[in-house]
Amino acid sequence: MLHEQEKRRNAGEVDLCLSFMKSVCGEQCLCPNRLSLNLAGLKLGNPTMLASGILGYSSETLESIVQGGAGAVVTKSVGLKPREGFANPTIVQASCGLINAMGLPNPGIDEFTKEISHAKTVLNVPLIVSVYGYSGEEYGILARKAVDAGADAVELNVSCPHVKETGSEIGQSSRILTEVVREAKVMVNKPVIVKLSPNVTSVADLAEVAEKAGADALTAINTVKAMAIDTETTMPILSNRVGGLSGPAVKPIAVRCVYEIFERVKIPIIGCGGIANWHDAVEFLLAGASAVQIGTAIALKGPSVFRTVARGVDAYLRRHGFDSVGQIVGLAHKS
């Protein structure tokens, strides 16, 4: 029980805080207390994050995303060696999203660590490095190199739908997934996030496997395996033939995955898949996500989509009388 005097002091502090915030950014300000969260030890000012894969590797691009309001950023996936990726076309527009098969192009971890170190000096939000490998040992080495360079956490890409011997070929097997997560965990003392594939029989089973192996958080979901065919040439459009579908088309699949995973694990879930506005974000939070990643929507709306979504979530919380974003996580399970 708080003493009356203390309650009055707290109320005074809140008023002071609000008038300060209003003077800084007007009536529409984001109250940092309502939106801030601790995600597996990472401190986020708001629950929006840049999804891996959508943007390049430069710290300038990551900076523009932070200026757009993101609470954390995840880099493109990086492997041990440089990789060219697939030939064009690597991306095709579908009715309600994009199908891409870039082929994990990246400069290799040793080149990338320079960019991580620089990014760390200019970003004021958690920097999460996404890594992909071909064995548990490789994931472990990559995680260590990323953290040594300054990453605040690593996200294991065990869910790319179309590159052979990595990605979902790892994340679909309980045995290999366990090995990969364990290796990463022994190599780093920062949070290890596992990005799950929807292209499996039971995403909740694999979520549980990742949790048991030591994962600190899960991202659900990566892209859905898909393809498009050119009716004139009669041929698949992507050079790789199949790719990963992202954007609004996958949102209901992703919400279902988050909902199912929430029933099975205790570690936080980061929702990902088709989030373009505050309403989408709230849907994911209610399903059980503690934060959300945004990717494809940046192509249409630009980096400011993060601030717009965060402000919308904040207004939703205020309208419904919640003091913190954590209060609505998983609410759909209680009704």
Nearer to ligand DHB, 242 or 328 (CB): 242
Minimum Å gap between C-beta 224 and ligand DHB is: 9
Minimum Å gap between C-beta 238 and ligand DHB is: 10
Looking at this protein, which amino acid is placed at residue 96?
Answer: C
Residue given tokens 């009716």 in the structure block: 231
Minimum Å gap between C-beta 161 and ligand DHB is: 6
Structure tokens at 22: 């209003």
Nearer to ligand DHB, 286 or 297 (CB): 297
The residues binding ligand DHB (CB under 6 A) are: 53, 100-104, 157, 160-161, 167, 222-223, 244
Region class of 81: left (phi > 0), else alpha (psi between -120 and 50), else beta: beta
Minimum Å gap between C-beta 90 and ligand DHB is: 7
Q: φ, ψ for residue 96 (rounded to 5)?
A: -130, 40
User: Looking at 17, 31, 160, 272, which residue is catalytic?
Assistant: 160
Q: Are 284 and 254 a contacting pair, CB within 8 Å?
A: yes
Minimum Å gap between C-beta 227 and ligand DHB is: 13
Q: Are 171 and 158 a contacting pair, CB within 8 Å?
A: yes
Q: How far apart are CA 284 and CA 293, in angstroms?
A: 10
Let me know the angle formed at the C-alpha of 153 by 300 and 262, rounded to the nearest 5 degrees. 75
Nearer to ligand DHB, 35 or 261 (CB): 261
Is residue 29 part of the annotated active site? The answer reads no
Q: Are 302 and 270 a contacting pair, CB within 8 Å?
A: no
Nearer to ligand DHB, 168 or 308 (CB): 168
Closest of 107, 216, 236, 97 to residue 162, by C-alpha: 236
**Residue 186, Cβ neighbours under 10 Å: how many?**
13
Nearer to ligand DHB, 120 or 241 (CB): 241
Residues taking part in catalysis: 160
